[in-house]
A and B are shown apart, each in its own frame.
Chain A
């Protein structure tokens, strides 16, 4: 009996200490980990879209509630004005699942600045080119928001990556979704950006 109690006590104390230590370390590293994830997963796409930005878009981010979801916007200061925002959307129907896409929008001129693929599971050498081939994403630079984007096979203006129409479609649909959300959240977005100006 005594042995039983001793076992219980030792294990309980050990588990408690371990839990406490881990909670403390998690608290200490949480912010840094979040930043690292943003920096290495989304950072490259954001930076390539907001090329001329004079601030650090990953630090200057905010969230806006859109129904039940929180959308994170990354702000880019261009020509001394916080006029560019980027947000991430997931395009349905890629060949290997959803395609994560960062979309940059100029809030002053209402135009698409550019896009960049963040996370995907497309085939290397085919769909994965959406991320690695600059010629593909170049097509999304400086477009108006009025016409929905489509690949040429669907009557649009975007040349799909050869052999990866599905991926190209997913990218277009993610961009279109982002534009819809942007139009919807425009008032809140304008307010947030104004605050940012101060």
Chain B
């Protein structure tokens, strides 16, 4: 079942959107989605790593020996993750403080390794680039959507960039359960349910 170039890109946005359809990489999904800002930051960082590692893995796919392929992928992925970490420290330090340990943890994010193994190692460079980009954007959008729900209900604000915007006004009583860990599971479960309902048809 050959896909067209466009489908290679768009499948990451809906049909195979990572956290909801593939149900991969849930650790950052649950942990950092306290505010939209964190969600976007995490999503952009992961997208960068996905695109770069997909392109590199795909271009080296004929050189890398099958027996050590996972080790090679990890070296490639870890390199790009460290690049992201350093650049984020240098240019967006407040965001780095908030995301903290979850940036280095992108290395073990199943989406990144999963795309290298399942897609980039079998497809051409251009298709891998589109696949990484689509998956990354899908991941970013999912994180932002989940974060928006949690932050809006949990605090009544939306933080897109640095300053929170009050949506419900000062009289809103925050339902802070939603910004804590159990709220993440509940929100994720409800969103999965919603996705399945919409996709059922």
Contacts and interface: CB of A to CB of B under 8 A. Distances in A.
Interface of A: 3, 6-7, 10-11, 14-15, 18, 21-22, 25-26, 29, 32-33, 36-37, 39-40
B65 A22 contact: no
Interface in B66-124: 67-68, 71-72, 75-76, 78-79, 82-83, 86-87, 89-91, 93-94, 97
Which secondary structure dominates where chain B touches chain A? helix
Contacts of A3: 65, 67
Contact of A29 (B64, B65, B71, B87): B87
Given A3-B65, A6-B65, A11 B83 contact: no
For chain B, give the interface size range.
Answer: 20 to 34
Contacts of B76: 14, 18
5 tightest Cβ-Cβ pairs between the two chains A and B: A36-B93, A29-B90, A18-B79, A32-B90, A33-B89
A142 to B, nearest CB: 32
Given A3-B67, A33-B86, A14 B97 contact: no
A33 B72 CA distance: 29
A188 B52 CA distance: 51
B201 to A, nearest CB: 45
A11 B72 contact: yes
Nearest to A40: B93
A29 B63 contact: no
Most B C-beta atoms less than 10 A away, residue of A22, A39, A40: A22
Given A10-B72, A14-B72, A33-B90, 18 more contacts: A6-B65, A7-B65, A7-B68, A10-B68, A11-B72, A11-B75, A14-B75, A14-B76, A18-B76, A18-B78, A18-B79, A25-B86, A26-B86, A33-B86, A36-B93, A39-B93, A40-B93, A40-B94
Q: Indicate the member of A14, A15, A29 with the most B CB atoms within 10 Å.
A: A14
A66 B38 CA distance: 41
A117 to B, nearest CB: 16
B73 to A, nearest CB: 10
A49 to B, nearest CB: 21
Contact of B67 (A7, A26, A40): A7
Nearest to A31: B90
Contacts of A10: 63-65, 68, 72
24 contacts: A3-B65, A7-B65, A7-B68, A10-B64, A10-B65, A10-B72, A18-B75, A18-B78, A21-B79, A22-B79, A22-B82, A25-B83, A25-B86, A26-B86, A29-B86, A29-B87, A29-B89, A29-B90, A32-B90, A33-B93, A36-B89, A36-B90, A36-B93, A40-B97
